[in-house]
Amino acid sequence: MTSNDFIYARKSIRKFKDTPVPTEDLKEMIKAATYAPSGKNLQNWHFVVVSDREKIDAMANAVLAKNELLASYSKDEESANKSESLLSIRLFSKTPLMLFLFLQGLTQHPVCNF
């Protein structure tokens, strides 16, 4: 594999196995992510792993509820159809875990000022 093959070979996965992700694999993925460049090498990130099925389902239901609300605002048929197609997507309801990346300090960003 050349240095960029892993990028070109990546694909989206929407069907997940009903098996847990091995802890060592997860640790290796997080370790690899920490090698990404960060502004001024601050490395101002932290990771949160959610593997509790009830919590993942609650997040999936919250996204579905928000999509339903957004769909209710549709003003024309084309928008309504697009919104309805979103409702059929259960983005991460079957995923074995969720990995969140949080950045610290963006509220004091001198350029973005947000």
Please, where are the H alpha helices in the chain?
5-8, 23-33, 53-72, 77-87
44-60 tens-digit pLDDT: 888 999 999 899 888 88
Residue 113 lies in a domain: no
Give pLDDT, residue 46: 87
- Check residues 66 and 26 and name the one with the higher pLDDT: 26
Residue 114: pLDDT band with limits 50, 70, 90: very low
- Check residues 108 and 32 and name the one with the higher pLDDT: 32
Residue 80 lies in a domain: yes
Residue 3 lies in a domain: no
Secondary structure percentages of the chain, helix, strand, coil, to 5: 45, 10, 45
Full-model pTM: 0.67
Torsion angle of C-alpha atoms 59, 87, 67, 80, degrees rounded to 10: 180
Residue 11 lies in a domain: no
Give pLDDT, residue 105: 66
Contact 90, 61 (CB under 8 A): no
The domain containing residue 80 runs over which residues?
Answer: 21-32+42-108
Residue 50 lies in a domain: yes
Residue 9 lies in a domain: no
Residue 37 lies in a domain: no
Residue 90: pLDDT band with limits 50, 70, 90: low
Query: Distances in Å between the alpha carbon of 78 and those of 66, 89, 90?
Result: 19, 18, 21
| The total number of structural domains that make up the chain | 1
Residue 61 lies in a domain: yes
